Amino acid sequence: MGQPQWKPPYTDDTRYIDRSKVSSIATLIGRIGYTVEPATLLYLKGGAAWVGDTFTEECSPAVDVCPGVAKVTRTGWTIGGGLEHQFAQDWSGLHRIQLHGLRAAHGDAGLYRRVDL
């Protein structure tokens, strides 16, 4: 990583840099399946998902007031499915897919708290 480049986040004002970082991901999932043969399981799963985001705004030295930092937890859903096959005792292989849908994180000046950067 090098020095940040001053790019406009949502305006043409190049004095601001907005960054976001995913700090945590959590899911609570239920699964239901059907045994096709004694060693093969097909299943579907679904549940809730949470993501912890940290948003920061940095300012160039030409700006006197900088909005600061906001931490947001976004909620959503997760769905998926898969196939698992036991090919030897204590050994199995699987193929699965999992999708997440999370609400968008929206922020305004009221969402940020002032910090010294």
In a domain, 109, yes or no: no
| Domain contains 107 | no
At 105 the pLDDT is 59
- What pLDDT score was predicted for residue 18? 74
Q: How far apart are CA 71 and CA 22, in angstroms?
A: 10
For residue 28, what pLDDT is reported? 96
Full residue range of the structural domain in which residue 46 is found: 20-102
The answer to whether position 3 is within a domain reads no
Task: pLDDT tens for the chain, 117 residues: list them.
Answer: 444 444 444 556 667 777 788 889 999 999 999 999 889 999 999 999 998 888 887 777 766 667 778 888 888 899 999 999 999 999 999 999 988 888 765 543 333 333 333
Count up the domains in the chain and report the number.
1
The reply to whether 77 falls in a domain is: yes
What pLDDT is attached to residue 11?
55
Question: Is 42 inside a domain boundary?
Answer: yes
In this structure, is residue 32 part of a structural domain? Answer: yes
Whether residue 25 lies inside any domain: the answer is yes
The answer to whether residue 93 sits within a structural domain is yes
And the tokens for 31?
A: 């699964």
